[in-house]
Structures are given as C-alpha cells and as structure tokens.
Amino acid sequence: MALPVVSVPMKKKKKPSLVLTLSATGLLIAGGSVAYRLFNQGQQLSRDLPVGANIIPQDALFAVSLTTDPQQWQQMHEFGTKETQAALDKSIFQLRDRFLTQNGYNFEKDVQPWVGDEITLAILAPQGNKPAVKPVAVNGDAVSAQQSMVMVLPVKNPQTAKSIWAKAKNPKQGQWIDRTYQGFAIKQTNGQAGENLSATLIDERFLVITDSLKATERAIDAYKNKASLANTAGFTENFPKIFSDQPFAQFYVNVPTAAKIATISPNRPLPAQVLAQLQNNQGLAGTIALEPGGIRLKGVSWLNPNSQRVLAVENKAGKMQNRVPAETLMMLSGGNLKRLWGDYVLTSQGNPLSPITPEQLRSGVKSLTNLDLDRDFLSWMKGEFSVSVIPNKPKDDTPEDFRAGLVFMVQASDRQLAETSLKQLDDVMKNQYQFQIQPGTVAGQPVVNWVSPFGTLTATHGWLDKDIAFLVIGAPITDKIVPKPNNTLANTVPFQQTVPTEPNPTNGQFFMDVERTVKNFPLPNLISNQRTLLAATRSIGVTAAVSDNRSTRYDIFLALKKVRNSGVPTPAITPSP
C-alpha cells in the first residue's frame, strides 16, 4: 500500500504512517496545558494552517498545534486505560510546570482569559555550530545537536494580554530583562543556563515564548522576512488536504532537516546515500480529530518541489477485503506490488532503520529457492495484492487452541508467467526440501498442496477467478477463501467502523483487530510503551492513496477503549498546584 513518501530515519521515530499515530500522540499530548489560534501578519491566515505558521522558522524540525477546548481534552482523557491516562497527565504536567507553574503563572487565571482556541509548539533545528539550550532527544538519548523550543499563543483578548504582559510576574529564579529586537519588545529571564525564558508580543496578536533569546529573535526574523513555515515549499498547498473542522491537534515534520539531525546521532549515523534520498522529501503533516469511538488522523506527505523524483498516480486497490472472511485478524493491501517494491528499493538502500534491506531480501530468496525475486516473481505482480492473517477456529477459542494461516493474494498481470514461476517453486520445494507436491481440490477448485516430510500440510496455492494467485502458509484455511466467502471482512462492523472510506480511490488499506491479535500473537516491540498503547486500542484502520505526482494522502483511525467514570478532571484544564 502507499505509505508516506519516506520514513524519517531518526531515533525519535516519526512513523509516518501509523505512525505517527500512537507514538506521536505522546508528543501531541505533551503540549496540552496552554493554547492557540488567530491571524497572520496584517492579514488573516487560512484556518487550514496551524496558528503560528507565519512565525515558526522554516527550519523547524517539528511543530504541533493543540486545542485549548476543555471539552476536547476531557474527551481525550476518557480514551484508553488508566495507564495511558497516567502517561497523558504526566506529559501535561511537565510542560505546564515548565512554562507556567515554575514562573508563578496559573493557566485558568493568567492564560485562559486571553488565549485563542489553540497553541503551537515547535522544535527548532540548531543554527550552524552554535549550541542552543537543550539537547535533541532521539528515543531518550541526547545527540550532539541542540534544539530550541518555541511556543506561539494567539491573543483573542488583547487588553487582558497587554495587562499581563506589562505586569509580568518576577520569575522564581533570576529576573526579567527588557530588550528590543527589530522593534519588538522582549522580556528575558537571567536564570541558570538551560532554564531561561524569552517572550515577545508580536503585533498584539501573538505571544511568543521560547527557551532562549536567540530562538525569539529567529521567530521575529521569520515573521518579518516571511521565512516561516507558511512560506515553506508545499506547506500551504498540502495542509488544506487534511483539513478538519475542529482538530484536536495538527503537526508538521520537516523531513530533510530532521534527516540532517539524524546524521549526527552517535549510535545510528545516517549514511550519506540515505540523506541524499531524503532530500527528495519535504514534509509530513497530519491533523488529529477526536470522535466518539476513537482518534482519526489525516496525513499527507509531499516531495521537495526541486526533486526529480515523481510519484505514479495509480490508485487501484480496495477489493481484497471482499476476498477474505469476516474472522480475518489482519489485512494489508496495496495496488501494485512491483511498483511498491521499486519505491522501497529507492528509499531503503543503505538505510539502517529499514526492517530488511533489498539486498538481503533478494539474496534470501535466491539462496532459499534459487529463483530471482525481481525476474521470477515481482515481474508479474503488477496488480492489487494483500497479506492477511486468518484464524482456523471460532473467535472465542483459547490461545492454547489457536492456529492461523498467513494468506498472500496478488492479481497477476501475466498468468502464464506466474504459472511458470509457481511450477519452478513447486520443483524447488520437492527436490531441495523433500516436500510432497500434491494436486488437490477445494470446493471444486484445483489447488496444489505442499506436504512436509513429516506428513503435515504446510502450504497451498491456487487461483481465485482467473487472475488472482493465492498462497496459504500455516493453518489449513484455504476453504475460508475458496470459494469466495459470503460473509467477508468488508461486511463486518469493526472493518466498516475502523477503516477510513477516504481517500477514494485508494492505493492500499490496513486493518487489524488489535484485541484478538494481541490475545493470540506475541507482537514484536516496535515503539516504546507499545504494550500499554495496544492495551488501549480495539482496532486500527488505514487507507492511503497517491494524491498527485508530488504528494501522498492517508487516513488512520484508532478505535480506542474508554475509561468509564474516572471522575478525574484532565490536568490540561485544572489550576496549577
């Protein structure tokens, strides 16, 4: 399926795809104690763009805007489990205390009366060789690069904001120092290194708070010189594609800048050839909205306008969910396996974060089968494909009795070539691994069974209709797909309520029944706190498509559990202690 143009190979994993979803939620939540939204420099910014997009410098690594609506934060607080609630509260307290409590401010009393509907929080890239205040953290480890943080709070009540600005409370450590830069008054603390704050009120419309004077000056320069995110290539063109009427959060990842930061990571330096590939990509952005059943993320990624690389607009997926049964635990589909492989090769060669390199996969297929992956297999796999996990027992089976089959389906662009390759594969299994190759039938349809030397049915392959080749490995569940099932995955309530219907047409979809899958399978640990996050999730659905030759769109929905009657108000809207 079509995923974001590329995964950013940083240690702080920004999973464009699903990503970005669960692990990124931690980053989104981290800004929740204050708020934002309003206007542009002398003119109104499009409401499609995050507030402060005309202030945050273009080289920002990451930017996230968050709602200040108490009802939305309370709704967010009801999702998940007690463990995820505790993690949410901890993140909110940390940010609130850093910017407010430690400096004598209370959100409800000192901020809420004048602030807009949302805030924006951004992490700036280091400038040259000059270190900023705090280290960039990548999966919790500091690297040699440095970062600065910028918070933009729009002003909906200028008089109240001006009053608080003019009578700023003395910080608990040090004192305020008044400065002027390009005509803007700046207040800066003179506390210990790494604990300073700097603030300026821009045109009585935006209060900009940073953790260093230099970051404040960079924000002012970006605003006056129109060198902000709003002027970044592709930013204003692509953000409207993921518009949401009342977003809980919006975020942006600067792919090439983030890639450069990753090159100086001491544990996983980014190879030069990977960095060169990432320069083709410009941005990854998303909008998060809360719904009664969970969280919806609309995402878009786009290429650098100067890149010679273009995307093929080929959205021909969306049928495979009608070929697998209702009890399917997981399904991943895509529109053109050969093209997907080509994109993977282009972006993953030499990438240390790739799950498996193209060279490894090619050599693995060659050593196991003596066949060529590209010539003997992918050459005829130009149609829609899917990989599914299908149990062979009822849903209420205990884990001890659980068995499942892995099912691969692909629409062949050349059936004759496909049959030749499958016959060669049968010969390899027979001569090299001593499997019995036994013709058979399922529901009157011819199939070929691989029976291991121990007499166990290991795999079955055959054809659905005239051009859909299938291979079943593991549990004998061929009778669940042959003939085409009457009750399909597409007709189930979980699939219909989880997998987004947009974008349409689609280039790929993903569905996972998280509760049943986690119950029966030990999943590899891909992100931090994965077990806690999965315990809060019922199901995951993704739909992706190539929007045009420069951008990719995808929608993700997380169907979440809820904590009933917790009775605990969200700390995002409670007074500071």
pLDDT digits (tens, 9 = 90+) for 170-206: 666 667 889 999 999 999 887 665 567 899 999 889 9
Helix (H, G, I), strand (E, B) or coil at 120: strand
Nearest to 284 by CA among 334, 242, 315: 242
Burial of 502 (0-12, 13-18, 19+ CB in 10 A): exposed
The distance from CA 217 to its chain's CA centroid, rounded to whole angstroms, is 31
- pLDDT tens digits, residue range 62-121? 999 999 998 998 899 889 888 887 877 777 777 666 666 666 677 777 788 888 999 999
pLDDT of residue 1: 47
pLDDT of residue 225: 95
What's the average model confidence in pLDDT over 427-431? 96
Which band of pLDDT confidence, cut at 50, 70 and 90, is reported for residue 141?
very low
* φ and ψ at residue 379, rounded to 5 degrees: -60, -25
pLDDT of residue 520: 84
Burial of 329 (0-12, 13-18, 19+ CB in 10 A): buried
- pLDDT tens digits, residue range 502-560? 999 999 999 999 999 988 887 777 777 788 888 899 999 999 999 999 999 999 999 99
State how far the Cα of 472 lies from the Cα of 458, in Å rounded to an integer. 8
Reduced DSSP (H G I as helix, E B as strand, rest coil) percent helix, strand, coil of the chain, to 5: 30, 30, 40
What's the average model confidence in pLDDT over 282-310? 92
Which band of pLDDT confidence, cut at 50, 70 and 90, is reported for residue 568?
very low
Residue 126 has pLDDT above 50, yes or no: yes
Residue 43 has pLDDT above 70, yes or no: no
pLDDT of residue 185: 93
Ranges 149-158, 191-200, 293-302, 336-345, most confident: 293-302
pLDDT of residue 140: 37
Angle at 284 between CA 18 and CA 87, to 5 degrees: 50
pLDDT of residue 399: 56
State how far the Cα of 549 lies from the Cα of 546, in Å rounded to an integer. 7
Residue 574 has pLDDT above 60, yes or no: no
Residue 407 has pLDDT above 70, yes or no: yes
State how far the Cα of 150 lies from the Cα of 211, in Å rounded to an integer. 7
pLDDT of residue 58: 93
State how far the Cα of 182 lies from the Cα of 178, in Å rounded to an integer. 14
- pLDDT tens digits, residue range 368-400? 999 999 999 999 999 999 999 999 875 555 555
Which band of pLDDT confidence, cut at 50, 70 and 90, is reported for residue 575?
very low
Q: Which residues contact 423 (CB under 8 A, 6 or more apart)?
A: none
Q: Which strand (E) or helix (H) includes residue 558?
A: strand 551-560
| DSSP line for 162-222 | HHHHHTPPPPSSS-EEEEEETTEEEEEE--STT---EEEEETTTEEEEESSHHHHHHHHHH
pLDDT of residue 27: 32
**505 preceded by a cis bond (ω within 30 of 0):** yes
Burial of 75 (0-12, 13-18, 19+ CB in 10 A): middle
pLDDT of residue 13: 37
State how far the Cα of 249 lies from the Cα of 266, in Å rounded to an integer. 32
Q: Are 354 and 3 in contact (CB under 8 A)?
A: no
| DSSP line for 60-112 | EEEEEEEE--HHHHHHHHHBS-HHHHHHHHHHHHHHHHHHTGGGT--IIIIIT
pLDDT of residue 413: 95
Which band of pLDDT confidence, cut at 50, 70 and 90, is reported for residue 401?
low
Number of H helices, E strands in the chain: 14, 21
Average pLDDT, the chain: 81
pLDDT of residue 231: 93
pLDDT of residue 9: 35
Nearest to 110 by CA among 42, 207, 202: 207
Q: Which strand (E) or helix (H) includes residue 537?
A: strand 537-548
- pLDDT tens digits, residue range 317-371? 999 999 999 999 999 999 999 999 998 887 776 666 677 888 999 999 999 999 9
Residue 31 has pLDDT above 70, yes or no: no
Q: Are 572 and 74 in contact (CB under 8 A)?
A: no
What's the average model confidence in pLDDT over 226-230? 95
What's the average model confidence in pLDDT over 457-479? 95
The distance from CA 549 to its chain's CA centroid, rounded to whole angstroms, is 21
Q: Are 572 and 33 in contact (CB under 8 A)?
A: yes
Residue 274 has pLDDT above 70, yes or no: no
Residue 28 has pLDDT above 90, yes or no: no
pLDDT of residue 549: 92
State how far the Cα of 274 lies from the Cα of 323, in Å rounded to an integer. 38
